[in-house]
Amino acid sequence: MGFYLVQLLTGLSNACALFLVASGLTLIFGVTRIVNFSHGSFYMLGAYIAYTLVEQSSGAFGFWGSLLLAGIAVGIIGLIVELIVLKPIYKSPELYQLVATFGVILVIQDLAQWIWGAEDLFGRRAPGFKGENATVDIAGTLMPTYDLAIIAIALSVLGILWFIFNRTRFGILVRAATLDREMVSALGVNQSLLFSGVFFLGSMLAGIGGAVQLPKGGASLLMDFEILSPIFVVVVIGGMGSIWGVFVASILVSVLQAFGVLFFPQSTLVLMFLVMAVVLIFRPWGLYGKEESSTEHAAGEIKEPLREVGSKMKMVFLTIIALLIISPIFLEGYNLNTIIDVLVFCLFAASLHYILGTGGLVSFGHAAFYGGGAYAAALLVTYANTPMELAIFFAPFLAGFVALIIGWFCVRLTGVYFAMLTLAFAQVLWSIVFQWSAVTKGDDGLTDVYPQIITSGSILHYYVVLILAVGGIILLRAMAHTPFGYSLRGGRDSSLRSEAIGMDVKLIQMSSFVFAGAMAGLAGSLFVFTKGSVFPDEMTIARSFDALLMVFLGGVQSLTGPISGAAAFTLLHEWLVQITEYWRGCLGILIICIVILLPNGLAGIGELFRNIFTKTPKEEAAK
Amino acid sequence: MSFLNVKDLSKNFGGIKAVQGVSFSLEKGELLALIGPNGAGKSTCFNMLFGQLKPDAGSVVLDGENITGLKPRKIWRKGVGRTFQITATYGSMTVIENVQMALISHHHQGFSFTKRATKMYREKAMEMLELVGMAEQAERGTATIAYGDLKSLELAIALAHEPKLLLMDEPAAGMAPTERQALMALTKRIVEEKGVSVLFTEHDMDVVFEHADRILVLNRGQLLANGTVDEIRSNPQVQEVYLGGGTTFANE
Amino acid sequence: MLKVKKINSYYGGAHILHDVSLNVEQGEVVALLGRNGAGKSTTMKSICGLVQPKSGVVEFMGQGMQGKPPYHICRAGIGYVPEERRVFSELTILENLEVGKRSARQDVPQWSHEKLFELFPNLAERRQNLGSQLSGGEQQMLSIARTLMGNPSFILLDEPSEGLAPVIVEQMALAIMELKKQGVTILLSEQNLHFAKLVADRAVILESGFVRYGGTIVELEADEEVRTAYLMV
Separation of CA A185 from chain center: 32
Say yes or no: B240 and B132 in one domain: no
Domain presence at residue B85: no
Q: Identify the sign of the CA torsion A321, A326, A331, A336.
A: positive
List C-alpha distances in Å: A533 to A373, A390, A465.
Answer: 13, 16, 16
Q: In this structure, what DSSP letter does residue A412 have?
A: T
Summarised one tens digit per residue, pLDDT across range A3-49 is 888 889 989 999 999 999 999 999 999 888 888 999 999 999 999 99
Q: Report the CATH number at residue B182.
A: 3.40.50.300
Which of A169, A173, A185 comes nearest C70 by C-beta? A185
User: Is residue B77 less than 8 Å (CB to CB) from chain A?
Assistant: yes
pLDDT tens for each residue of B14-25: 777 889 999 999
According to the model, what pLDDT value does residue A605 have? Answer: 57
Tell me if B243 is assigned to some domain: yes
Residues of C in contact with A189 (CB under 8 A): 71, 99
Cα A551 from Cα A547, distance rounded (Å): 6
Of B105, B141, B157, the CB nearest to A305: B141
Does residue B39 register a pLDDT over 60? yes
Does the structure show a pLDDT above 70 at A296?
no
HSE of A178, CA atoms in CB hemisphere, 13 A: 22
DSSP annotation of A537 reads G
ipTM over 0.90: yes
pLDDT in tens, A225-264: 889 888 988 998 998 888 889 999 999 999 888 888 887 7
**Reduced to 3 states, what is the DSSP secondary structure of residue A261?**
helix
Q: How far is CA A66 from CA A20, A48, A54, A157, in A?
A: 17, 11, 6, 16
Q: Which chain B residues have a beta carbon less than 8 Å from that of A506? A: none
Ordered by start, the domain boundaries in chain C are 2-230
Average pLDDT in chain A: 87
The reply to whether B245 and B130 lie within a common domain is no
Calculate what percentage of chain C has a pLDDT beyond 90: 64
Instruction: Give yes or no for a contact between A513 and A355, defined as CB atoms under 8 angstroms apart.
Output: yes
pTM: 0.86
Kindly report which listed range (A28-37, A421-430, A442-451) carries the lowest average pLDDT score: A442-451
Contact C98/A180, CB-based, under 8 Å? no
Mean pLDDT of B93-111: 94
Q: Evaluate if residue A106 carries a pLDDT over 80.
A: yes
With 90 as the cut, is the pLDDT of residue A124 above it? Answer: no
Are the CB atoms for A45 and A211 separated by under 8 Å?
A: no
How high does pLDDT run on average in chain B?
A: 88
Instruction: Give the end of a domain, one of B127, B162, B197.
Output: B162
**Gyration radius of chain B's alpha carbons:** 19
A229-240 burial code (b ≥16 CB/10 A, e <16)? bbbbbbbbbbbb
Q: CB neighbours of A459 closer than 8 A, spacing ≥ 6?
A: A328
Residue numbers in C near A182 (CB within 8 A): 50, 70
Q: Residue C213: what pLDDT?
A: 92
Per-residue pLDDT, A266: 67
Q: Considering only CA atoms, which of A180, A202, A206, A207 is closest in space to residue A191?
A: A180
Q: Please state the three-class secondary structure of A18-56 as a single string.
A: HHHHHHHHHHHHHHHCCCCCCHHHHHHHHHHHHHHHHHH
Would an 8 Å CB–CB cutoff place C16 in contact with chain B?
yes
pLDDT at A276: 84
More confident residue, A406 or A129: A406
Which of A129-133, A292-296, A378-382, B6-10 shows the lowest mean pLDDT across its residues? A292-296
Give pLDDT, residue A601. 52
In the prediction, which pLDDT does A613 show? 57
Nearest to A525 by CA among A398, A335, A439: A398
User: Strand, coil or helix: what is A600?
Assistant: coil
End-to-end Cα separation, chain B, in angstroms: 47
pLDDT value at residue A292: 66
B105-150 pLDDT tens trace:
999 998 988 899 999 999 999 999 999 989 999 999 898 888 888 9
Q: Residue B164 has what pLDDT?
A: 92
With contact defined as beta carbons under 8 Å apart, do A248 and A297 qualify?
no
Query: How far is the CA of B224 from the CAs of B19, B122, B148, B238, C194, in angstroms?
Result: 12, 45, 32, 7, 20
CA distance A592 to chain C (A): 26
> Residue B232 falls within a domain, yes or no?
yes
Of A179, A186, A191, the CB nearest to C80: A186
Contacts of A483 in chain B (CB under 8 A): 104, 109-113, 115, 117, 120
Domain final residue pick, B108, B137, B162: B162
Q: Within chain C, which residues score under 70 in pLDDT? A: 233
> What is the spatial distance between Cα A353 and Cα A476, in angstroms, rounded to a whole number?
9
Task: Report, in angstroms and rounded to the nearest whole number, the Rg of chain A calculated over CA atoms.
Answer: 25
Is B48 inside any structural domain?
Answer: yes
Q: How far is residue A206's CA from residue A43's CA, in Å, rounded to a whole number?
A: 5
Handedness of CA C143, C145, C150, C156 (dihedral sign): positive
The angle, 0 to 180 degrees and rounded to 10, between the axes of the packed helices A334-353 and A541-554 is: 80
Torsion of CA A402, A406, A408, A411, to 10 degrees: -130
| Residues 6+ away with beta carbon under 8 Å from C98 | A169, A172, C149
**A320-331 mean pLDDT:** 84
Phi first, then psi: give them for residue B133, nearest 5 degrees. 75, 35
Q: Which of A85, A101, A116, A118 is nearest to A42 (CA)?
A: A101
C-alpha B49/C-alpha B64 separation (Å) is 15
> Is residue B84 a part of any domain in this protein?
no
| pLDDT at residue A615, as a whole number | 46
Q: Is A169 on the interface with C (CB under 8 A)?
A: yes
CA closest to C95 among chain A residues: A172
Residue B82: closest C-alpha in chain A:
A500
From B37's Cα to the closest Cα of chain C, the distance in A is 6
Tell whether B155 and B192 lie within a shared domain: no
Instruction: Based on the fold, state whether residues B68 and B190 are members of the same structural domain.
Output: yes
Query: Does residue B119 sit in helix, strand or coil?
Result: helix
Residue ending a domain, choose from B106, B131, B162: B162
Q: How many whole angstroms separate alpha carbon C188 and alpha carbon C29?
A: 7
Is C2-230 a domain of CATH 3.40.50.300? yes
Provide the pLDDT for residue A13. Answer: 92
In tens, the pLDDT along B174-219 reads: 777 778 888 888 898 888 888 899 999 988 888 888 889 999 999 8
B1 touches chain C (CB under 8 A): no
Greatest CA separation for chain A: 90
pLDDT digits (tens, 9 = 90+) for A170-214: 999 999 998 888 999 999 999 899 999 999 999 999 999 999 999
**Chain centroid offset of residue B115 CA:** 32
CA distance A161 to A156: 9
DSSP state of B20: E
If one counts the domains in chain B, the total is 2
Range of the domain at B7: 1-79+165-252
Give A308's contacts in chain B (Cβ within 8 Å): 118
Q: How far is Cα A261 from Cα A252, in angstroms, rounded to an integer?
A: 14
* Cα–Cα distance measured from residue C97 to residue A254, given in angstroms and rounded to the nearest whole number: 39
Question: What is the residue-wise DSSP string for chain C?
Answer: -EEEEEEEEEETTEEEEEEEEEEE-TT-EEEEE--TTSSHHHHHHHHHTSS--SEEEEEETTEE-TTS-HHHHHHTTEEEE-TT----TTSBHHHHHHHH-----TTS----HHHHHHH-HHHHTTTTSBGGGS-HHHHHHHHHHHHHTT--SEEEEE-TTTT--HHHHHHHHHHHHHHHHHT-EEEEEESBHHHHHHH-SEEEEEETTEEEEEEEHHHHHH-HHHHHHHT--
Q: Please tell me the least confidently modeled range out of A114-118, A282-286, B212-216.
A: A282-286
Range of weakest confidence among A96-105, A306-315, A576-585: A306-315
- CB atoms C71 and A185 under 8 Å: yes
pLDDT at A297: 58
Which three-class secondary structure string do you get for B135-180?
HHHCCCEHHHCCHHHHHHHHHHHHHCCCCCEEEEECCCCCCCHHHH
